[in-house]
Amino acid sequence: MQETRPPASPPGAYAPTGRTVPTRSAERVAYDKDLVHEILDEGYVCHLGYVRDGAPVVLPTLYARVGERLYLHGSTGSRPLRMTGARDPGLAVCVTVTHVDGLVLARSFFHHSVNYRSVMVHGLARQVTGPEEKRTALDALVDHVVPGRSRDARPASAKEMAATAVIRLDLDEVSAKVRTGGVNEEPEDLSLPHWAGVVPVHTVYGTPLAEPDLAPGVALPDYLAAL
């Protein structure tokens, strides 16, 4: 389990594979790297799938992207982390990130839909053991959730580093799936007396709630006010 640098990210597209070419809605699938990065960078919780005793497990997990690599966060005791540690060449995983952008209400049940952007990454996950790469990953994980935060918190001690597990997954076999726009409708439904349209869905941040025991003089930092 050598320490490695994340692969650089040349512009372009991911090569489709048997797993990333869809059997349906082919018009919604894209392999463009910029689009994939944008979707990944907007979120911080992914759903990590792996196989345990022949059955699937899907775990919500924090992640961050560094170049052409994802880092996923876990504790050393969690099952997928222990499984990646024990395996060579790695644990087969599928990581999916999904943003819902709107509810699409058609005049017919059939054309009801959701506007969304999702990314699916297939690959072999490995535990990160090199201290330098682990620190890079932890910085990225903290900054991915709140940009700028990693400079305003105490870095992990050696003991804390040992208790934190990080797995890496390179962005090789990747696809995005996107639905945007308005309502599809059967022509004969257009005159029906039903409202149709799109209800936008947004994720927003509320007012930060400070702990009651902040050290004297500690104010709300600019990077939080900017959220």
Residue the block writes with tokens 């349906």: 24
Could you say which residues in the range 17-46 bind a second copy, by CB under 8 A? 19, 23-25, 44-45
Query: Any contact of residue 103 with a second copy (CB under 8 A)?
Result: yes
Query: Any contact of residue 16 with a second copy (CB under 8 A)?
Result: no
Could you say which residues in the range 184-223 bind a second copy, by CB under 8 A? 185, 189-211, 213-215, 217-221
Query: Any contact of residue 1 with a second copy (CB under 8 A)?
Result: no
CA gap 99, 83 in Å, rounded: 28
3-class DSSP state for residue 74? strand
Per the rule left: phi > 0, alpha: psi between -120 and 50, beta: everything else, 217 is left
Binding a second copy (rule: CB under 8 A), the pick from 94, 137, 174, 176 is 94
Tokens standing for residue 127:
């535990």
Binding a second copy (rule: CB under 8 A), the pick from 16, 31, 32, 47 is 47
Query: Any contact of residue 145 with a second copy (CB under 8 A)?
Result: yes
The window from 5-13, 28-36, 92-100, 126-134 that contacts a second copy (CB under 8 A) reads: 92-100
Nearest to 48 by CA among 88, 93, 8, 104: 93
Between 35 and 196, name the residue whose CB sits nearer to a second copy.
Answer: 196
CA gap 71, 138 in Å, rounded: 8
Query: Any contact of residue 163 with a second copy (CB under 8 A)?
Result: yes
Confirm if 9 and 37 have CB atoms less than 8 A apart.
Answer: yes
* Cβ 69 to a second copy shortest distance, Å: 19
The window from 9-17, 27-35, 59-67, 126-134 that contacts a second copy (CB under 8 A) reads: 59-67
End-to-end CA, the chain: 37
Confirm if 140 and 128 have CB atoms less than 8 A apart.
Answer: no
Could you say which residues in the range 117-136 bind a second copy, by CB under 8 A? 118, 120, 122
